[in-house]
Amino acid sequence: EALFLPSTLKSIEYKAFNHCRSLRLSILPNGINLSNDGNGIIENTVIYQISAAAGVQYEDEIDYIDHLTAESSRQVNEWLIHHMDDSPFHKLCYTSSITTKPISDYLIENGNDSALQIDPIHGMTPLHMLSMNPHARVETIGALLDSNTQTVFCLDKQEQSPLDYARNYNVGGLVGMVAGLCNHRNSSVL
């Protein structure tokens, strides 16, 4: 479903994720070089269907079937890098090297209600993204959860909550969220 690429990744081979049919969430690192390779990397995936619906799709060379134009591959790759730019908090939570400090800084600058923002592509809150991120530490997930506990119950377009994603991608985060909810409940009872 989701592919969290490290920011140190420099290149991706031709059709690397071709036929990973359930891949629906992936953001390429800003510094990646896709000039010589990376053609057709998301062909036959859900995220490619999303890019095509946004008007960005692969085109075949006129004389060759199943040979993509360099320009259409470049456009799809650029879309993969920038498609979440309008949801900066989500993109931050997607980062493989995320820590608590940038989450806290974002919340201080933008307010705790920013934790309730819904991205238009996946219908996810930032906590959904962070819960899917296998690199996110428990305390980082806890900091975001503590800012607005309502987010843990929000469902995305797949009818999944952050708890559902944490169960599949970040078990430590799941345990941390359950503990955080128990602490929140106990503190509101007192």
Burial class (CB in 10 A: 0-12, 13-18, 19+), 71: exposed
For residues 180 and 149, the answer to whether their CB atoms sit within 8 Å is yes
Confirm if 10 and 35 have CB atoms less than 8 A apart. no
For residue 189, the model assigns a pLDDT of 54
Per-residue pLDDT of the chain (190 residues; tens, 9 = 90+): 888 888 888 888 888 888 898 898 888 887 787 765 677 889 889 999 999 999 999 988 876 666 788 888 889 989 998 999 999 999 999 998 999 999 999 999 999 999 999 999 999 999 999 999 999 999 999 999 999 999 999 999 999 999 999 999 999 999 999 998 998 776 765 5
Tokens encoding 46: 């859900």
CA distance linking residue 134 with residue 81, whole number of Å: 20
Q: What does the alpha-carbon distance between residue 149 and residue 142 come to, in Å, rounded to a whole number?
A: 10
Question: With b meaning 16 or more CB within 10 Å and e meaning fewer, what string describes 150-189?
Answer: ebbebebeeebbbbbbbeebbeebbebbeebeeeeeeeee
Q: All domains of the chain, ordered by start, with CATH?
A: 1-83 (no CATH), 88-189 (1.25.40.20)
Q: What pLDDT, on the 0 to 100 scale, is given for residue 89?
A: 97
Distance CA 59, CA 57 (A): 7
